[in-house]
Structure 1
């Protein structure tokens, strides 16, 4: 097992941002000219190399040390999560695991797979779903001229019941033998979570707020549900950049917030433990509904379509949030590299 860097505690004397973010300064020894030039780039060149940047927030050692917003955006304007919502879903699963209502190593409670006793999909566990290793056939494609199961799920014939749509796919590989990033798997997990909580639609939203958002001061999240009452955990939970940073701080602090444990012990380590991937994988290292390595060695991040990022770098106690619209592969990769360079400014 890969050694994980320790998660730093909240520094003594630093208030928790349950109400307001405590403010701080950029590190005294930082190359400020380099940092300023890097931060300027996506805001000055809007719709250029980085696409459109809505917001950038930096939290260092528990304090908000820098934020900047693009036109028509500011601290109170919500931004799309896209697949950052997958990491929120992972947190909700952790809460239910801690409640004793969900076992991620047991077969997933999926009715579509229980219809036949010999259905090989019955071997799929929530753990395999969280690690994108279910083996289900699913095409994760966003280009308009290519076949796409995710587009059909979110906006086509699957939109009214996203979990049923995703659970209806056959196996392409034996469960646990092949990594393949697929938004459908998250929506299956999301329905499993709702079943475990015995709460769908508004009731599940209340669960989200009472057990996750409100305890850590996230006041702005707007999760979206399908007509079946399933949280579309693959893609839709709007929030302000500051609230995405609060979510990042919860994971930086090992699931504990101001002395209260929100996530079970070891759940953050589970999120950032690498998933096995075949050699042909081009996505980059992945944990359990969290990406790995974007902000340097030992970092992990919630990543979303068109360049939504919440990056956690434990070695320097740094959280970076970027929201915007990077429409192409090149622009998104530029944003990824840019965030890595920003993190290095703090080292």
Structure 2
């Protein structure tokens, strides 16, 4: 029986042995995670660039448009049966989380479908969004599914950032960034996969038009409050991201912190969110997400089988060889990670782990399973 932490109360702990874990190996895994800290500077608010993000962009594309905060140190939780088996660092600190915000966007998409605000993932977005964002020949046939799977090939400039800024973008600790931002000919929507933050921000904008109120409010009222999250998390937009809907000015929030802004959230709040996903959108007997949506977000993209609906998959164990193929992840630069494996009853949150060491960190916790 899964335990759900109470609203505002302490999260119940569980001894390693009771959780089916080898105590010595679990301790070793935690120590390794603590020592596998990212090389990113702590004072990111004063850094010349955001590593691997604005670092490889020319001006004015590299301009930071939203808040950037100093980062904390390594932190995390390893949870089984809903109870905390291991905890390290400062799990209460609300910290930047970069592209994990994309996975929160996927959950908001599920809410929109469940509430009937969007009829079908294969509807064109143009049917739902006012203005000229989806009026061009290139953009008119883009569907919600295209945006969710990073295959939209949306063309345009949003809040001062052109889609071209992330053309030829490559991810990974050993990524070649030499071609990033070089213009390429666009393909029809649904035929080319590209990790493009401008296009994810277009999805956030489109959802703003659908809900017709700020996405942080939707997330708070429909997800974070029901699961008992703290009031310390923030989801912030760019200084130029104002949109007027129904005569009311709102801020459109980004799906990451590529150009600042984005989500700042504690490891404990990430863990509550992760537990909701691990339990298929049900919190302590109360269904919050539409039935089947968590399964849907794990649908492999035909053009990139390790990507689902703004969640990372481990198809053929290609993402993290030490994790089972059944694992899936919310992942952000830094590296920040929510790791879920329903079959093995694993929920873990990792903050500020060196990207090249992530698989070894996962391997350590896998070794602790008895």
Q: TM-score, normalised by structure 1?
A: 0.77
Report the alpha carbon displacement of residue 141 of structure 1 after superposing the two structures with TM. Answer: 6.2
**Which residue of 292, 295, 298 maps to 2:313?**
292
Is 2:357 aligned against 1:334?
yes
> What corresponds to 1:307 in structure 2?
335
**Is the contact made by 1:320 and 1:339 (CA closer than 8 Å) also made in structure 2?**
no
Residue 91 (structure 2) pairs with residue 75 (structure 1)? yes
Q: 1:222 aligns with which of 215, 234, 247?
A: 234
- Over 3 Å counting, the alpha-carbon distance change for 1:133 and 1:344 in structure 2 is farther
Give CA-to-partner distance per residue, 1:186-219, whole Å, 9 cap, x none: 21111111101111xxx43222211111111112
Equivalent residue for 1:27, pick from 17, 38, 58: 17
Q: CA deviation at 1:47?
A: 5.9
Gap change, CA 1:141 and 1:262, over 3 Å in 2: same
Q: Find the aligned partners of 2:224 and 2:311 in 1 and give their Cα distance.
A: 18
Are 1:190 and 1:233, in contact at CA under 8 Å, matched by a contact in 2? yes
Root mean square deviation of aligned Cα: 2.9
Equivalent residue for 1:154? none
Q: TM-score, normalised by structure 2?
A: 0.73
Which residue matches 2:197?
Answer: 183
The 5 Å alignment of 1:82-231 reads 82-102=98-118, 103-109=120-126, 110=129, 111-116=131-136, 119-136=137-154, 138-139=166-167, 140=169, 172-199=186-213, 203-219=214-230, 220-226=232-238, 227-228=241-242, 229-231=251-253
8 A contact 2:150–2:195 mirrored in 1: yes
Question: How far is the alpha carbon of 1:78 from its aligned partner?
Answer: 1.1
- Aligned: 1:58 with 2:91: no
Unaligned runs of 5+ in 2: 43-71, 155-163, 243-250, 315-319
Judged with a 3 Å threshold, the aligned counterparts in structure 2 of structure 1 residues 78 and 144 are, in CA distance, closer, same or farther, namely: farther
Aligned-pair CA distance for 1:39: 1.9
Q: CA deviation at 1:108?
A: 1.1
Number of the residue aligned with 1:7? none
Taking a change above 3 Å as real, the CA distance of residues 245 and 47 of structure 1, as seen in their structure-2 partners, is closer
* Correspondence for 1:255 among 281, 294, 297: 281
Residues 338 and 93 from structure 1, CA distance in 2 versus in 1: closer, same or farther, beyond 3 angstroms?
A: same
Show structure 1 runs of 5+ residues with no match: 1-9, 150-168, 279-283
Pick the structure with more helix per residue.
1
C-alpha separation in 1, matches of 2:35 and 2:205: 42
Q: Contact between 1:310 and 1:322, CA under 8 Å: does it hold in 2?
A: yes
Contact residue 170 and residue 180 of structure 2 kept, 8 A: yes
- Rounded to whole Å, the distance in 1 between the matches of 2:309 and 2:288 is 18
Cross-structure match for 2:62: none
Contact 1:16–1:258 (Cα < 8 Å) also in 2: no
Q: Distance in 1 between matches of 2:215 and 2:358?
A: 34
Question: Which SS does the other structure have where 2:96 is aligned?
Answer: coil
Distance 1:53 1:292, change over 3 A: farther
The offset of 1:35, in angstroms, is: 2.6
- Number of residue-to-residue matches in the alignment: 298
